[in-house]
Amino acid sequence: MNNKNIKILLIDDEGEFVSTLAERLELRGYAAKTSEDGESGISMIESEAFDIVILDLMMPGLSGLETLRQIKIINSKLPVILLTGHGSTKEGMEGMRLGAFDYLMKPLDISELINKISLALNL
């Protein structure tokens, strides 16, 4: 697998969810790091280089959309895939407008996520 070089940042307030997802991605050869809120996620992006960010929209504190906005200010080229717990596509659409690459609904289908990552990174 040549995924080792791909560095993914997962930002989601559900620790159990985000750690498990990171482990699964690592099993698939990605280098995944996690963050449980928007602020720490942003500071990680500022200090390290990531290839892609997976971001939950529903978070306490700094909201998903606000985090997205700040990520785009730091690095407008960094692709962001949004996760939404809502049945609605409204916030997803709003995220797309702000420059997200795509959005997915929780619970996730892992193969769909991998697919989106590949598309985002033009692999």
Question: For binding to other proteins (CB under 8 A), which residues are involved?
Answer: 14, 16-17, 20-21, 23-24, 27-28, 85-88, 90, 105-108, 110
Nearer to other proteins, 34 or 78 (CB): 34
CB of 88 to other proteins, least distance (A): 6
Nearer to other proteins among residue 47 and residue 111 (C-beta): 111
Write down the least CB distance from residue 22 to other proteins, Å: 9
Backbone angles phi, psi at 7, to 5 degrees: -100, 120
How much of the chain is in helix, strand and coil states, percent to nearest 5?
Answer: 45, 20, 35
For residue 10, count CB atoms less than 10 angstroms from its CB and return exposed for 0-12, middle for 13-18, buried for 19 or more: buried
